[in-house]
Each structure stands twice: as structure tokens, then as C-alpha cells.
């Protein structure tokens, strides 16, 4: 009912993880709607890239999920709370249990006065999964619902958009390697545009989304191989794709994960696939039939999903050998005036007689 009592300009939304990839889209969308936004992050000094909105509309605040007092401070005046915190790989004290399983409950307990609570999880969250990532996501959802049964939980598939960790990573690998060893080659994904997910999140803040769990996917389902082939096509690189068996992928993940820890994370992110990530790549990551039937999808929320063709090529152009500065690609079929034999000859693009005004050498009748 808060929406009927106060305008967005009078409401505060606290976004945990607002400085991350998805967070940038969410903060921008909230600012456009007019909400006042608090970006709760461990390092506020690194949020200067965020959209600022109007003067004082977007403000970064220090908060760490390991310190309950900082969480309470971040949500003490919040009308809505969004939790986007998540990691793909454990590092130090940033563990799956701490970030995925414990953080949603801690934030919800501190934000019980907030009108709405939106949690971003992931398709594939499963308490019985072999993957620690998937189990921790499911544990976080379960713990959250005990505190906030009215929460909106959004489970997106593979996210894409400028700055993503998926298609940019594929393009980096295609640039570095002539042969692409690919685990999970036949695993299906439903890539979803981060801007569409942000729109769904803000709809929940607006009060237009009923409490429940929603699965968000794009308009197309593609295998890992098909996505890699698409990237190679866009970046204009010919590469040999070699499927990696699941058992081999798990072994490689164990080795690469150990090497990454031994080198203190100095290995290029593009080549590091951990054992847990290899397990995730064995399971399809698509919207379930039940979610489609019950309308718990982007389409059910009235949002038309964006295709990868509409977005991805615009930010992968930098991975081409000559990028957007390819003279052959950008060349016109006609000869410029400065190279034509005469300024008004047949080979010239200068044809004043085709203009809508008076012809050359004639005067207007007015």
C-alpha cells in the first residue's frame, strides 16, 4: 500500500550487491522510476561508475554481510530491500554458505519493516544438487522464506549484457585459443538480458509482482556449443570446438581451482573453471514447464524477453581482429566526391539536380 501513499521519490530502496553486474542495471532502472537508492556495498569508493540519477538520488553506503550492524544501518530507513549478492567462486571468507545461504536471512531479519523484499537467486537452485553453489542458493531461499514468506524470489538463467561474465568470457577464449575445449557442450541454457531482469525486479518494487518464486529466461534456448558458435560468428573467428567429457571437466576443474588458489587468484578468469562449476555445467539451466504454465516467467510479468542478437554483438565488436575500425567492412560502394574525376560527374555522389528545391541554374518563382 505504500505506493498509493507515497510517490517513488519519497521511497528508499536499499540494494545489496548494487555495484555488481546486475546491480548496475537495477540501480539505473530504479533511478529512472524516481526511487531514492542506497547501494549497500563493501567498498563504496568503487561505485563512482553507477548511474547517479538526480542530485542525491543514488547514494553508496558501506555494508558487509559478515557484520550485522552494518546491515541494520543499511536498511533502517528502507521501504524496499533488494538482495543481489552472489559469487561464482569461493575466495577467502567469501564462501557460498556466507553469501548465498546466510546473507538473505540476515538481511531479511534486519529489514522486517521494509514493505517488500526481493531476492535474486538462480535457476538450478536445488538442496539435493551435487553443486555447493546450487545447494547454497536453495538454502538461502528456504531461510529467507521463514523470515519473509511474502518475499519475491527471482531465478534468472545465464545473464548477458555489457560487462557480463558469460559472452565476454567466451569471446576472450576465442581470441586466445585456436582450439576451444568446451565442458557442458550439450547443456542447454536460456540466456536472459540483465536489463529485463532489472525490469522484473523494479516491477516487484512497484508492487506489481505477487510473492512467490519466478524463473526468468530469454526467448531462446541454446546449448553451450551453440552459444560459443554464435560468439565466434560475431567476432569473426574460426575456431575448433572440442567437447570435454564430464569426468574430464571435473578433474580439470579440481586442478584449475587448486592452481588458482596457489597463485592467489592470478590466473586469468577466462581459463579458470572450478570443480563446482564443472558440475553445474552438467545440468540444463532453463525455465521449467511448471513456471511457464503458472505464469511465473518474464512473459507472465508482462515483459518481452530480449534476444542475444539484439544486444550481444554491440559489445563483442571489440573482440574482432580490427574491431569497428575495419575499413573494408565500413567502406561504401560509391566513390567519395574527393576521389571522383569531377565534382558532378557520373562517378560522383554530388547530384544537386535531385534536390527538392529549385534546379541548378533556375530561380524560385517566388
What digits encode the pLDDT tens for the residues 74-103?
999 999 999 999 998 888 888 999 999 999
**Residue 129 falls inside a structural domain:** yes
Residue of 312, 245, 325 lying closest to 282 (CA atoms): 245
| Structural domain that includes position 142 | 1-150
Out of 91-100, 247-256, 322-331, least confident range: 322-331
Cα 68 from Cα 105, distance rounded (Å)? 11
**Residue 247 falls inside a structural domain:** no
SS3 content of the chain, % helix, strand, coil (to 5): 40, 15, 45
Average pLDDT over residues 187-202: 97
**Residue 112 falls inside a structural domain:** yes
- The mean pLDDT value of the chain amounts to 86
Total domains in the fold of the chain:
1
Out of 63-72, 75-84, 211-220, least confident range: 63-72
**Looking at the predicted structure, is the pLDDT value of residue 3 above 50?**
no
**Residue 359 falls inside a structural domain:** no
Average pLDDT over residues 254-278: 80
**Residue 192 falls inside a structural domain:** no
Residue 81: CB atoms within 10 A of its CB come to 30
- Percentage with pLDDT > 90 across the chain: 65
- Looking at residue 243, what is its pLDDT? 94
H/E stretch holding 215 reads strand 212-216
Q: What CATH number did the domain enclosing 12 receive?
A: 3.40.50.720
The full DSSP string for 219-242 is: S--EEHHHHHHHHHHHTT---EEE
10 Å CB burial of residue 54 (0-12, 13-18, 19+) is exposed
**Looking at the predicted structure, is the pLDDT value of residue 35 above 50?**
yes
pLDDT, tens digit, for every residue of 290-313? 999 999 999 999 999 999 999 999
Alpha carbon dihedral 149, 280, 101, 287, in 10-degree steps, equals: -10
**Residue 216 falls inside a structural domain:** no
**Residue 132 falls inside a structural domain:** yes
SS3 173: helix
Average pLDDT over residues 117-146: 96
**Residue 326 falls inside a structural domain:** no
pLDDT, tens digit, for every residue of 330-365? 555 544 444 555 555 565 555 656 655 555 455 555
Residue 323: CB atoms within 10 A of its CB come to 11
The whole-model pTM stands at: 0.85
pLDDT higher at 225 or 19: 225
- Percentage with pLDDT > 70 across the chain: 85
Out of 8-12, 88-92, 112-116, 130-134, least confident range: 88-92
Out of 13-27, 125-139, 345-359, least confident range: 345-359
Amino acid at each position: 500500500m505504500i505506493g498509493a501513499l507515497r510517490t517513488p521519490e519519497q521511497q528508499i530502496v536499499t540494494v545489496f550487491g548494487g555495484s555488481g553486474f546486475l546491480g548496475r542495471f537495477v540501480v539505473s532502472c530504479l533511478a529512472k522510476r524516481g526511487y531514492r537508492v542506497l547501494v549497500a556495498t563493501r567498498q563504496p569508493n568503487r561505485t563512482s561508475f553507477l548511474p547517479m540519477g538526480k542530485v542525491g538520488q543514488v547514494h553508496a553506503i558501506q555494508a558487509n554481510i559478515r557484520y550485522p550492524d552494518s546491515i541494520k544501518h543499511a536498511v533502517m530507513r528502507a521501504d524496499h530491500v533488494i538482495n543481489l549478492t552472489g559469487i561464482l567462486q569461493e575466495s577467502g571468507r567469501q564462501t557460498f554458505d556466507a553469501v548465498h545461504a546466510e546473507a538473505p536471512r540476515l538481511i531479511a531479519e534486519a529489514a522486517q519493516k521494509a514493505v517488500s523484499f526481493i531476492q535474486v537467486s538462480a535457476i538450478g537452485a536445488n538442496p539435493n544438487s551435487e553443486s555447493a553453489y546450487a545447494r547454497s542458493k536453495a538454502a538461502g531461499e528456504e531461510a529467507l522464506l521463514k523470515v519473509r514468506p511474502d518475499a519475491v524470489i527471482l531465478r534468472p538463467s545465464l545473464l548477458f549484457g555489457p560487462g557480463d561474465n558469460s559472452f565476454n568470457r567466451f569471446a576472450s577464449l576465442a581470441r586466445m585459443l585456436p582450439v576451444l575445449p568446451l565442458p557442458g557442450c550439450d547443456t542447454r541454457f536460456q540466456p536472459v538480458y540483465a536489463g529485463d531482469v532489472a525490469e522484473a525486479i523494479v516491477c516487484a518494487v512497484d508492487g506489481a509482482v505477487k510473492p512467490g518464486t519466478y524463473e526468468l529466461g530469454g526467448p531462446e534456448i541454446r546449448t553451450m556449443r551453440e552459444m560459443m558458435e554464435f560468439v565466434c560468428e560475431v567476432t569473426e573467428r574460426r575456431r575448433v570446438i572440442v567437447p570435454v567429457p564430464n569426468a574430464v571437466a571435473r578433474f580439470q576443474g579440481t586442478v584449475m581451482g587448486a592452481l588458482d588458489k596457489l597463485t592467489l587468484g592470478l590466473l586469468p578468469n577466462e581459463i579458470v573453471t572450478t570443480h563446482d562449476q564443472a558440475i553445474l555445467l552438467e545440468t540444463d539451466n532453463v525455465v521449467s514447464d511448471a513456471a511457464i504454465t503458472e505464469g511465473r516467467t518474464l512473459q507472465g510479468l508482462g515483459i518481452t524477453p530480449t534476444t542475444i542478437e539484439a544486444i550481444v554483438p554491440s559489445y563483442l565488436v571489440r573482440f574482432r581482429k580490427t574491431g569497428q575500425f575495419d575499413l573494408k567492412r565500413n567502406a561504401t560502394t560509391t566513390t567519395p566526391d574527393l576521389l571522383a574525376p569531377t565534382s558532378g560527374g557520373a562517378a560522383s555522389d554530388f547530384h544537386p539536380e535531385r534536390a527538392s528545391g529549385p534546379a541548378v541554374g533556375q530561380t524560385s518563382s517566388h
